[in-house]
């Protein structure tokens, strides 16, 4: 277990409000990722980070931003939440060239 | 467009028998393939992987087979146990160094019947 903590585990918010999801790791892994899981789509990459302050977009990055100010923390922000962003969000970490380790997810509902 | 496909949403198998989960991919640049297992309310956990230079990789009861010409891989679980009941995700990557950006299939829910 890569020691990944996601917070909050559950959140309900209203359309148009900003939301920040947090991922904290204790394994000093260089790479961190945010995925979303939706029925019929599996897991899809939103953003990833290859170091402090170094981030890049994944395949479904529209409407999301990320920040990584410390090795151990990776934040995902929805600037103005929409109903299409209702999903389960997973944070993952990895070392160089190694399989991803996932956190237990955050279930976000946008009403 | 889904680059990694798992066409069977569910599979039921008797305890002790073989479970075979299938996965197809479309991107010929993929060279590293993984299987993840997911229990409810938990994150996916890594199960087994294979690189494109191999056609088989075995780890205990789990074996992954890769057919590059058919762009197909499968996961065999022998013998199947009730604790194997979970959703299994196939994933693929175009590089195994650096950021390992994985593309996932939609998952197959395996139920092992005692």
What backbone phi and psi angles, to 5 degrees, belong to A83?
A: -60, -30
Within an 8 Å CB–CB cutoff, is residue B45 touching chain A? yes
Cα torsion A27, A91, B44, A8: sign:
positive
pLDDT for res B112? 98
* Test mutation, B1, B44, B104, chain A, max A CBs within 10 A: B44
Residues in chain A closer than 8 A to B102 (CB atoms): 43, 45, 100
Question: Across the interface, which of B43, B97, B103 has its CB nearest the CB of A104?
Answer: B43
Q: d(Cα A55, Cα A93) in Å, to the nearest integer?
A: 13
**Interface contact B46-A101, CB threshold 8 A:** yes
Residue A26 CA from chain centroid, whole number: 16
Taking the CB of residue B3, how many other CB atoms lie within 10 A of it?
Answer: 16
- Whole-angstrom CA distances from B64 to A42, A94, A102, B35 are 20, 22, 21, 8
Please identify among residues 51-80 of chain B the ones whose CB lies closer than 8 Å to any CB of chain A: none
Residue B94 confidence class, pLDDT cut points 50, 70, 90: confident
Count the residues in chain B. Answer: 114
Per-residue model confidence (pLDDT) at position A109: 97
Q: Cβ neighbours of residue B81 under 8 Å, at least 6 residues apart? A: B15, B61, B112
B40 to chain A: closest CA residue: A104
3-state secondary structure B28-62: CCCCEEEEEEECCCCCCEEEEEEECCCCEEEECCE
pLDDT digits 0-9 by tens, B29-81: 999 999 999 999 999 999 999 999 999 999 999 999 999 999 999 999 999 99
User: What pLDDT shows up at residue B2?
Assistant: 83
Q: Which residue positions in chain A have pLDDT lower than 50? A: none
Residue carrying the six token digits 């956190």: A103
């Amino acid at each position: 277990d890569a020691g990944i903590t996601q917070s909050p585990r559950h959140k309900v918010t209203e359309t148009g409000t900003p939301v920040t999801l947090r991922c904290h790791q204790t394994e000093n892994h260089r790479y961190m990722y945010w995925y979303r899981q939706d029925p019929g789509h599996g897991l899809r990459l939103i953003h990833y980070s290859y170091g402090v302050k170094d981030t890049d977009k994944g395949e479904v990055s529209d409407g999301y931003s990320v920040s990584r100010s410390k090795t151990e923390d990776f934040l995902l922000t929805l600037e103005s939440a929409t109903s299409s962003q209702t999903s389960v969000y997973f944070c993952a970490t990895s070392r160089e060239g190694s399989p991803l380790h996932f956190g237990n997810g955050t279930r976000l509902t946008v009403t | 467009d889904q680059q990694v496909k798992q066409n069977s949403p569910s599979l039921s198998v008797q305890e002790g028998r073989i479970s075979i989960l299938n996965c197809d991919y479309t991107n010929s640049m993929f060279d590293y393939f993984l299987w993840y297992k997911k229990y409810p309310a938990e994150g996916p956990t890594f199960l087994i992987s294979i690189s494109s230079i191999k056609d088989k990789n075995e780890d205990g009861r789990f074996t992954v087979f890769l057919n590059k010409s058919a762009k197909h891989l499968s996961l065999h679980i022998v013998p199947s146990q009730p604790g194997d009941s979970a959703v299994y995700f196939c994933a693929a990557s175009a590089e195994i160094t650096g950021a390992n950006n994985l593309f996932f299939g939609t998952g197959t829910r395996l139920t092992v019947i005692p």
